[in-house]
Structure 1
Amino acid sequence: MKVSIYSFLLLLGCTIGINKARSQAINDHIFPPHAAAKSFINFNKKGFLINGKPTFLVSAGLEYARVPQQLWYDRLLRLKRAGFNCVEIYTLWNFHEPHEGKFVFTGDHDLNRFLDLVKQLDLYAIVRVGPYYCAEWDLGGYPLWLKFKPGLRVREDNEAFVKYVDRYFDKLLPIVCKQQINRGGPVIIVQLENEHNDGWGTAVPNNYFKRLQSKALAQGLQVPYFFSGLHHASDPAGDGTLDDAARPNPWFSTEFWSVWYSQYGAKPADSAVYARRTWKIIAHGGGGYNYYMAHGGSNFNYSNNDEDAASYDYGAAVGQAGDLRPIYFAFKRAGFFARSFQDVLADGTDATAAYKSLLADTTLKITARKSDAGEVIFLDNPGNTVMEKSIVVDAKLPAAHLKLSAGEIYPLVHNYHINDKVKLKWALTRIYGLFKQGNTATILVEVPEGGKALLNFETVQNAIFTKGKQRFSVNGQSVILQTENKPGFEKEYIFEVGDKRIRVLIADAAGMDKTWATEVADANAIVSGPSYLGDVVVKNNRVQFEAEQPLAGLSMSDAMLYTEKASVVLKSIHQPNLKVPSKLILSPWQHKNAAVYATGNFNDSKWFASANPLQMGADGNLTADAWYRTHLNIPLNGKYTLQIAGGGRAIAFVDGVKVASWKIADSELSLPLKRGKHTLAIFTAHDGRDKLAAYTGAITDVDPKGISGPVSIKKGGPFISTLQNWYFKKAHGAGEVKNGIPQSDTVNWQKYNIGDDAFNKQEGYGWFETIIPVQAGAISKLTISFKSVDEDAIVFINGRQVASHNGWNSPFKVEVNNAEILQKPVRLTIFVSNHSNEGGIDQPVKINSIGKATTVRGWKMLGGPGNIADQRGWKKLFVGTVYTGPQLYRSAFVLPAAKGKELIWRVHTDGLSYGSVWVNGHNLGRYPEKIGDIGMYIPSCWLIPGSNQLVIYDENGKRPGMVSIQLEKQASRVIYSLEGK
């Protein structure tokens, strides 16, 4: 019930938990680099310094664990093309040590190779090494086997936990440290831990953090580092007060939440909303930012947590399938600008006061940044309507007419030293980017169609005009370019001053979206025209550019290449045949009975055995499915109730016949049973484990899956019920509890609904009360189960204090063992202390009157759906057959020829229940999706020419007749080459 201190966590499933995670607001400092790394990566309060130069970090969050290795280069290049100069990654522990002591750093897990690709693309890397990650990932990244270590408590100075962290870091950190920038790699910053309740920035509150620090330093960490994170939020700049004289390092956000994991694809408002939030950082002195996520990817295998399924698209700039959303181009616009003028933004100070009088109209806000390299003034339209303004900055210059969209922040560049011969005195129009190409500086100027551009340069000697001369005017060493963006006008303007050359390229926003920076023969180049510019290749001594256009709304246009000295028309080489099917034909389905484990005579002698059932994973299986078997000896015919702890879904079979399906968390299963011996088989499954946000302590019993602990059986029942009819009375302070519980009445006590905020998001105290009715039968024991009280609770039975508990979102139980008390209604009262934000009783309170019962023992367990690659047992699927348990289904499909196209195919699991899908042996993840019927993404690298195999495991045995493989046209692309004519 407690909400996060971060604004975006109004959405369900917050990234961190919550009211205690406040240290980041207090400490956002960064540990300085070791002396050996200082010349490579350093910082001051103004910004970051990489290789001694001010560098604005435009960072993209992505997880290599959510992308097949064959697509790493492609996704990194897409981010680089959008102006990103850095990527930020998690090194998820359970991805690299899924089984105890068995480390995986090859194939899709090859962190070293991934970092090599980052370096190859001339990007930097911020590496978040954990040991906790969150990330909407199964168990927050903890290996499942940690749950079964006695005495282990996570994220504390706990010997058992630290021992395993050290062992993992012994494998992980040498890879990371070898890839530090001072050793030739891309790593410039490391984050230790993640979103811990206590230690953010440089805070070292306890020995746990000291041990993480000493371990990392001992392994050779030399670049800057910090704990937990910096400024996590959906609008991290907030009110824009980023300058802080007391901060020794630049302001930076390690998690700028761009959209959210509950979304697939783009919404109309995303681009403008997150563009504004980005420009606020740029305009108010931020040293950079990292979008979480810039590319989301997929939760393959069983890696999703309980909030997700297969997709982790996140509504991100680069979609799950590699498609580019409108927000991608908004981020590109900001990234190009921030990096173009990083010698101002990453080395500047607040100069707002000098420009407050630039506009008399106070509806526009003004901020400014200044350094020795120049100045940037930002005009901010915070309103919801378009604003048009005329601005005069110099009597020698004409008025500039500016149009600012709602929420737009518009940069004006002033006194910027382009090179030793030319200064950009005023850019009274939007500069998209400025790129150095040897002795040429190319300025990209964004001008709406029909709009005007106005730039004023100062030169040290007379300029020579070589293109678009009629649009230039000269007054001594002052050069003014005035032009319009309309048909018939030049798009390229060039002048030279000595050996220096200035090129200005004009285009509207759509044209700038299709303008790209790349390298040709180790020299910077600009390409305009394609919707996306991919790799640069050399064939037969000719340079070719790989390019893309969207399959939906395909429109091929001319392209231009701008090198240091030339402007070259590029011709396209592409496949004209765009006919593709919307669906693929599936071969007749086959099926295999995956519920064979329920039969009474099944041989389970080789299964994992235990007296009481153990939760999933105890047998080392990492899937989301498990079978449990045992035997019952029933003395009399009748209804029996089993009490079963654990989590997830379950299907019960008695002697091979399905008798019930239920949620294990309901804790009870009532069945009619006949006298005699029976085989009980229970199939269990779950939708992902909790990510344990902000959790510290033992994890053995947190969010158990499958069956966990002793199972009781008793004739009769059910014995568990939820307490109703709650009332609330506000208390005047913590001391009121000493006076005893107040008298019950209908005047001072108000009706209360479980889950409501009783304190109006404020600190406070209150009484909560209900009456437990007399239970059927003569019982001598009653258990009261609290799933969560927010935050601290003192429990009273009939006015007498019997228990106390501290902490919200933490289950606890209270037992009443007096048979005489239980013969009458029981008055249950809870005094709650709420320390911040919402408060009350979070979850339903349940009572259990089972008392003495027989414990069912002799359990066997088998995890997983079975061997899907096993060719034995497959049969033709006949029409009309109904299945009552898990089933495997198999089909095949032929991939159509797609030369010159990147076709995106998705498996739509219509008509199915819950389960997993494999294509050619690759697990696409879990279904159903929780963000709509988007289908399950099939990475193209997992498809093969000709016949491909599709396998489905459906937990309830639903037939696959409605399953289809459909083309996602919006994400599909046409691939072609560009070549100089």
Structure 2
Amino acid sequence: MTEKSSLLLQEQEKNIDTGTEHSARSELTYDQRSFIMNGERVFLNSATIHYFRMPREEWREVLMKAKLAGMNCIDTYFAWNVHEPEEGQWSFEGDNDCGAFLDLCAELGMYVITRPGPFICAEWDFGGFPYWLETKQGIKFRQNNETYLYYVDLYFDRIIPIIRERQLSVGGTVILVQVENEYGYLMDDAAASAHMNHLRDSLLQREIDVPLITCVGGAEGTIEGANFWSGADGHYAKLREKQPDTPKLVTEFWTGWFENWGGPSAIQKTAPLFEKRMMEILRTGYTGISHYMFYGGTNFGGYGGRTVGSSDIFMITSYDYDAPLNEYGRVTAKYAVAKTLSYFVDAFGALLMETEEVPAEQIKVRHPQGVTVRGRSKGSEKIWFLESHKEERETFHVTLEEGRTIPVALNPGQIIPILDRVEIAQNVYLTGGTMITGNEVVNGELTLFIVAEAGQRSVVELETNVLNVQGSSMPVLVERDQLNGAYRFELVHFCEPGIVHLEASGVLIRFVVLDKATMDRTWRINGGGGAKQLRYAIGFDDVDVSLSGQVTGMISDPNRNILLLGSWADGERSLTGLEFIYGEANDSQSGIQDEHVQESAPENQYALFTMPPMPPKLSDSPELSRVTLTAEQRASNGQPEHFSQYGQDFGYLLYECDFDRSEEEITTLILPDLQDTTRIYVNRVEQALVRQVGAAIVQVQTTKGKNTLQVLVQHMGRLNFSPYLGESKGLTGSVYIGGSFQDIRRNWHTEHGVAHLDEVNHLEDAPLLSRSFTLDGMDRAILVGAVSQGLRINGMDVPMEGYQNWFSFNTLDLSLYLRHGEINTLEMPYSRTPLNRLELILYRSENELKDWRMAGTDALLPRQWGLYEPPNVSSYVDTYRQDADYSGNWNAMSVGNGSYGQPVWYRWRFSKSAVPEHFRVNLMLRLTGMSKGTIHLNGHHLGRYWQIGPQEDYKIPVSWLQDENELLLFDEEGRTPERVRFLYDNLSQYPWGVVE
């Protein structure tokens, strides 16, 4: 560490390490329990949202949704390759204006956690590194490599000032900055210290003065957090052991998961499980949660990455992530869970942050079998977390201290927080056997929301000197407990909200009794502008708040009742959905007005619910341009160049060469280093689509005499996480004709018998596996697939620096270890099964193909388009010209069912549909029947498509539509688009109105 960096770190630690005094430069401190803002503990409830995964026009609505869900913080990465797509060409405008994104967070009153990398993972191409970085001589990524750090410093010189100028200490809302990302997955802290400390110092030297954090791996002077979905207790124990004096943060709580082409839909993390995992986090004692992702967004252009686990795990275009907000920014069942639990944290977080876990031996709660109880306490106040282990919903009776028994209804696996004598006002103590949120004064009444399933009965108790029930909209049974004098309320939960007004020890209290579905439709409005009188809106499926503070809401059921709580004279307002939409109620009483809807309302007042807006219609006869694959430029030295050498970031590269055969035959093609899906053509006839990459062998049909081989490679995304970042895309090195392939997952020998690695096995203590093979006249060998660390061939160790067995994929050249004319033996420890791939590819070095020709993406375009200026093709957007001459080789077509058997471009021109003002639509493109390719709208590259699932629909940002539009579709197989169509999402059919 430099002397300057050491002094900066000491100053920062002096200001924030104890949490006992305010910093001279900042009002953020911390101790072992939590962060402290302006002297008050703050629970960091953070939403991870990436500005670069949506148009700028969508930022505000998505951020507002996070705020409405109770989030008080936004967490974002910064993507280096977005801001420097070509070396020295920086982009911080428009959708890439990350400073404007941070300013918008501040405008909405949100704290910010910034994660500038330089490595970010994020299922983003190359983990955020720009493609051209690969071309730098001698570079090694994520290491103290001189070349790498030189470019990192240049990046930091541009990105860190944007963050520095928005720190808390200078009036901004950036409160934490992360050093690197998940370095602990690669090596332990001791091995990582040199690099992590260098990056830490780089931030300090650029005047970052807020606390520095890390995730999965630490560095001296930083606060480490944990990334996980489950196992909260174990991660907490490790953090507490490493850093007993810092707050415990879940730096990434994985709300869902990414999806890859050809993989399953990622729906395994269900909403009930999501709720349970969040409860486990609260129960354990974390005081910061960053929901990764809260909103995932879209991998536009070529930015979707690739990850470990198999050879072909390429990210789909959608980064929906099964997150609380879906790809279109719509609320989901998980959003409702996150919102309810955030409201609970907001209501009782001050207590949670002051508590310690009750040791198991001190728990005096009595409960039946089938449930477990853990608790947190501060003095006499306790929160018990009751967890069901039953297979069906059941009501359990739990006896608390002093013999107080209450019923608690739990679903299988559910965890419910039970408040036990929590002081909600002076001399007023609350005990509740169900979920309770709110706990704030609204219009002079302390308002609490009592929540349970519809039809469920729940019990809450108030201990108070004097109680007076002043009124109720529902029957309520109130009894006085003779044992402790508490007032016991038995409540029933209907789909219509119930209100109970009472006075306890001089404090006005309001119970709002809700069923779970209604709680899901309850929104806490944080005021401002025209919404300053409104605090809670109950009954809306969705809500938004404009820049001026105007509140709008969407309702899917016009017969549903709406309840508004605020600072009006009467404090409560109620109306139906019909009254809200059409203004049938007296405005002076309802506070609802939507003049546009009133003036345009049809005689049938249900018409707007039965006749939603219609999406744009695509013509049945798009124009088309067939692509003739031709490569005319001779590659350097006659060898194939990969994407970075060619100077192209994404898109396609075409490789072409000629070879002779003495007779017509079926032979094999060996591609020893191929990292992307590829189409193979011989004599312009497609032979194969290669999906499993790393190395590949393909059968091809050849003719006697001269043959022309063409290899069309689509860049499918670089590894976003791996010890082997920076793999070359396209064809790298030589290609060979002839060779053999063996699937070697079967017939491995152990001391106990034979093991087949494509089957489920339970082999304990990692026994040694061995398998033999012969070369059959070949002199080269490649092993590709799920190898195990500790691989040996013929008794010699095969180095695999950085590899870990859970990566489940590697490509190894075994040629130097071969014994020619003898039996060769592979050995490796057993790791796991079943393996999805383990192949041995053998070939002869003398059969190399030479004299390659190449062409980039520009060669695939109709010559008259003017979309590209080769050889530097940065995207399908940058050189797009609206005034291009389209007269070239476009032809009108009548769509028929089938395929042209060659790449084809399709073009539609369509008009933007009229959408009534009271509807908010989201548009998607369904590509039924197409093969694989790319989508473009009005010069925007919308991303890759591949109709092998799980993605079926592709986002069309409404903000990118014009009055007249152009949609372009490139299809590798030339499938005809008779079933391609636009759709609105389901929630586009419901109207919105204004809440005043």
TM-score (norm 1): 0.81
> What's the offset of the Cα at 1:673?
5.2
> What's the offset of the Cα at 1:686?
4.1
Question: What is the distance in 2 between the residues matched to 1:171 and 1:569?
Answer: 53
Question: What is the distance in 1 between the residues matched to 2:265 and 2:486?
Answer: 45
Question: What is the distance in 2 between the residues matched to 1:728 and 1:647?
Answer: 28
Question: What is the distance in 2 between the residues matched to 1:200 and 1:46?
Answer: 28
Partner of 1:958: 975
Q: In structure 2, which of residues 791, 794, 807 is the aligned counterpart of residue 793 of structure 1?
A: 791
Q: In structure 1, which of residues 679, 686, 691 is the aligned counterpart of residue 720 of structure 2?
A: 691
> What's the offset of the Cα at 1:878?
4.6
> What's the offset of the Cα at 1:902?
2.0
1:254 aligns with 2:251: yes
Question: What is the distance in 2 between the residues matched to 1:265 and 1:928?
Answer: 14
Which ranges in structure 1 are unaligned for 5 or more consecutive residues?
1-29, 731-747
| Compared CA separation, residues 513 and 724, structure 1 to 2 (3 A) | closer
1:295 alignment partner AA: Y
Partner of 2:543: 533
Partner of 2:828: 832
Tell whether the 8 Å contact from 2:895 to 2:978 is kept in structure 1 after alignment. Answer: no
> What's the offset of the Cα at 1:547?
0.3
Question: What is the distance in 2 between the residues matched to 1:71 and 1:163?
Answer: 35
Judge which range, 148-157 or 125-134, deviates more.
125-134
> What's the offset of the Cα at 1:161?
1.3
Partner of 2:305: 305
> More helix per residue: 1 or 2?
2
Judge which range, 336-345 or 141-150, deviates more.
141-150
Question: What is the distance in 2 between the residues matched to 1:196 and 1:89?
Answer: 18
1:435 aligns with 2:440: yes
Q: In structure 2, which of residues 400, 407, 414 is the aligned counterpart of residue 401 of structure 1?
A: 407
Partner of 1:771: 773
Partner of 2:956: 938
| Compared CA separation, residues 406 and 841, structure 1 to 2 (3 A) | closer
1:41 alignment partner AA: L
1:232 alignment partner AA: N
Question: What is the distance in 1 between the residues matched to 2:435 and 2:668?
Answer: 72
1:384 aligns with 2:391: yes
For 1:356-755, list aligned pairs within 5 A: 356-371=363-378, 374-391=381-398, 393=400, 400-419=406-425, 421-437=426-442, 440-452=445-457, 454-457=459-462, 466-468=470-472, 480=487, 482=489, 484-485=491-492, 491-495=498-502, 501-521=508-528, 525-535=535-545, 544-550=550-556, 555-563=559-567, 566-569=571-574, 572-573=580-581, 575=597, 577-578=608-609, 579-580=611-612, 584-593=616-625, 595-598=627-630, 604=632, 611-629=638-656, 632=658, 634=660, 643-644=670-671, 645-651=673-679, 657-658=684-685, 660-663=687-690, 665-667=695-697, 670=700, 672=702, 675=705, 681-693=710-722, 695=723, 699-700=725-726, 702=727, 704-711=728-735, 718-722=738-742, 727-730=747-750, 750-753=753-756
Tell whether the 8 Å contact from 1:355 to 1:367 is kept in structure 2 after alignment. Answer: no
Tell whether the 8 Å contact from 2:668 to 2:697 is kept in structure 1 after alignment. Answer: no
Q: In structure 2, which of residues 9, 19, 29 is the aligned counterpart of residue 42 of structure 1?
A: 29
| Compared CA separation, residues 197 and 785, structure 1 to 2 (3 A) | same
1:206 aligns with 2:193: yes
Output the aligned Cα RMSD.
4.0
Counterpart of 1:897 in 2: which secondary structure? coil
Tell whether the 8 Å contact from 1:545 to 1:978 is kept in structure 2 after alignment. Answer: yes
> What's the offset of the Cα at 1:293?
1.8
| Compared CA separation, residues 858 and 160, structure 1 to 2 (3 A) | same
> What's the offset of the Cα at 1:622?
2.3
> What's the offset of the Cα at 1:286?
1.8
Tell whether the 8 Å contact from 1:198 to 1:205 is kept in structure 2 after alignment. Answer: no
Question: What is the distance in 1 between the residues matched to 2:265 and 2:713?
Answer: 33
> What's the offset of the Cα at 1:790?
0.6
Question: What is the distance in 2 between the residues matched to 1:648 and 1:855?
Answer: 21
> What's the offset of the Cα at 1:912?
1.2
Note the alpha carbon deviations across 1:111-150, whole angstroms, 9 max, x for none. Answer: 1111222222222222222222222222222221122222
Counterpart of 2:363 in 1: which secondary structure? helix
Q: In structure 2, which of residues 163, 168, 174 is the aligned counterpart of residue 187 of structure 1?
A: 174
| Compared CA separation, residues 895 and 727, structure 1 to 2 (3 A) | same
Which ranges in structure 2 are unaligned for 5 or more consecutive residues?
1-15, 217-224, 307-313, 583-596, 598-606, 862-866, 868-875
2:770 alignment partner AA: F
> What's the offset of the Cα at 1:791?
0.7
Question: What is the distance in 2 between the residues matched to 1:201 and 1:555?
Answer: 59
Tell whether the 8 Å contact from 1:549 to 1:555 is kept in structure 2 after alignment. Answer: no
> What's the offset of the Cα at 1:537?
7.2
1:718 alignment partner AA: G
1:341 aligns with 2:348: yes
Note the alpha carbon deviations across 1:168-192, whole angstroms, 9 max, x for none. Answer: 1211122222222233222222222
Question: What is the distance in 2 between the residues matched to 1:680 and 1:729?
Answer: 40
Tell whether the 8 Å contact from 1:728 to 1:749 is kept in structure 2 after alignment. Answer: no
Judge which range, 909-918 or 405-414, deviates more.
405-414
2:787 alignment partner AA: V
| Compared CA separation, residues 966 and 348, structure 1 to 2 (3 A) | same
Tell whether the 8 Å contact from 1:204 to 1:210 is kept in structure 2 after alignment. Answer: no
Partner of 2:763: 760
Counterpart of 1:520 in 2: which secondary structure? coil
Partner of 1:56: 43
Note the alpha carbon deviations across 1:30-71, whole angstroms, 9 max, x for none. Answer: 988998478532322222222221122222222222222111
> What's the offset of the Cα at 1:431?
1.0
1:443 alignment partner AA: L
Counterpart of 2:510 in 1: which secondary structure? strand
Question: What is the distance in 1 between the residues matched to 2:764 and 2:206?
Answer: 45
Judge which range, 912-921 or 634-643, deviates more.
634-643
Tell whether the 8 Å contact from 2:786 to 2:835 is kept in structure 1 after alignment. Answer: no
Question: What is the distance in 2 between the residues matched to 1:434 and 1:829?
Answer: 70
Higher RCO structure, 1 or 2 (CA under 8 Å, sep 6+): 1
Tell whether the 8 Å contact from 2:783 to 2:814 is kept in structure 1 after alignment. Answer: yes
Tell whether the 8 Å contact from 2:17 to 2:29 is kept in structure 1 after alignment. Answer: no
| Compared CA separation, residues 449 and 685, structure 1 to 2 (3 A) | closer
Question: What is the distance in 1 between the residues matched to 2:187 and 2:817?
Answer: 46
| Compared CA separation, residues 587 and 554, structure 1 to 2 (3 A) | farther
Q: Percent identity?
A: 22
> What's the offset of the Cα at 1:336?
0.9
Partner of 2:6: none
Tell whether the 8 Å contact from 1:138 to 1:303 is kept in structure 2 after alignment. Answer: yes
Partner of 2:910: 893
Partner of 1:152: 139
1:923 alignment partner AA: H
> What's the offset of the Cα at 1:648?
2.8
1:889 alignment partner AA: Y
2:407 alignment partner AA: H
TM-score (norm 2): 0.80
> What's the offset of the Cα at 1:892?
2.9
Q: In structure 1, which of residues 220, 227, 231 is the aligned counterpart of residue 214 of structure 2?
A: 227
Counterpart of 1:232 in 2: which secondary structure? strand
Q: In structure 2, which of residues 892, 917, 923 is the aligned counterpart of residue 876 of structure 1?
A: 892
1:344 alignment partner AA: L
Tell whether the 8 Å contact from 1:468 to 1:490 is kept in structure 2 after alignment. Answer: no
Partner of 1:291: 291
Question: What is the distance in 2 between the residues matched to 1:721 and 1:489?
Answer: 67
1:288 alignment partner AA: G
